[in-house]
């Protein structure tokens, strides 16, 4: 059996709400995988897991991303066939979850933006980061929440900052419009894929009709009726 310290840490990971990301399905998966990671480290190194690190909880990250929000709505979406095909067409990634959890922040009736917590494996272990986009679909920030690979493979905050301002028009290709990271190529590629997924969600699921297009539609002027076309007036008998 493992030492009491290891067992205590496993119990702590299992209870901690900081590992709750996304929907109920994600919640159970992430919590189970976290316990598995702790046990694997204990077996391998005969010590508590030292590499896994949690930087912020879901609620903390959302509050700090939208400090002026009066409410943040949580919306679980199941991607149906057509939407799933559209998202895959944009991301070029067939390994696409069908269940997507999105967060929308409001200040009264004003839409502040959208957020998604992307959970995925980097090499063999998971990471989670929060992607925030504006109502217009522009990436505002990318924040790492948890990283279970060795921290040597974790890019810096400055590196994640380069995603700010990116849109669906950007290729998000590591080595192209996204700088690479020496010794952390897989981490960089995983981050780029996550941002691309969020922009695909915005385009397929969140994009609001552009109200300015209606304003641009030509409006025919009201012309006075001519005597030839004017409707006849009813005469009293």
Per-residue pLDDT of 166-207, as tens digits, reads: 999 999 999 999 999 998 999 999 999 999 999 999 999 999
- Residue 52's pLDDT is 72
What are the b/e assignments for 2-14, b being 16+ CB within 10 Å? Answer: eeeebeebbeebe
The dihedral of CA 74, 139, 57, 41: what is its sign? positive
CB 77 within 8 Å of CB 90: no
Model confidence, pTM = 0.68
pLDDT in tens, 25-78: 444 444 444 445 444 444 344 334 456 799 999 999 999 999 999 999 999 999
- Average pLDDT value for the chain: 79
CB 102 within 8 Å of CB 77: yes
Element spanning 61, H or E: helix 58-65
Structural domain spans, the chain: 1-50, 55-210
- Residues 103 and 115: their CA atoms lie apart, in Å, by 5
């Amino acid at each position: 059996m493992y030492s009491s310290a290891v067992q205590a840490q496993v119990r702590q990971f299992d209870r901690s709400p900081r590992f709750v990301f996304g929907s109920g399905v994600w919640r159970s998966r992430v919590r189970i995988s976290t316990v598995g990671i702790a046990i694997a480290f204990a077996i391998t190194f005969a010590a508590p897991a030292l590499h896994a690190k949690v930087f912020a909880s879901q609620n903390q990250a959302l509050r700090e991303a939208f400090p002026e929000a009066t409410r943040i709505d949580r919306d679980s979406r199941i991607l149906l066939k057509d939407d799933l095909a559209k998202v895959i067409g944009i991301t070029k990634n067939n390994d696409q979850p069908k269940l997507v959890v999105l967060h929308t922040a409001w200040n009264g009736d004003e839409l502040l933006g959208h957020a998604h917590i992307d959970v995925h494996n980097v090499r063999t272990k998971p990471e989670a980061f929060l992607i925030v986009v504006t109502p217009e679909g522009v990436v505002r920030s990318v924040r790492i929440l948890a990283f279970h690979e060795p921290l040597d493979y974790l890019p810096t905050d400055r590196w994640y900052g380069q995603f700010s301002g990116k849109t669906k028009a950007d290729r998000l290709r590591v080595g192209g419009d996204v700088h690479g990271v020496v010794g952390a190529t897989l981490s960089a590629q995983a981050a780029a894929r996550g941002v691309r997924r969020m922009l695909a969600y915005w385009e397929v699921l969140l994009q609001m009709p552009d109200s300015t297009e209606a304003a641009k539609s030509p409006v025919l002027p009201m012309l006075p009726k001519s005597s030839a076309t004017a409707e006849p007036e009813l005469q009293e008998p």
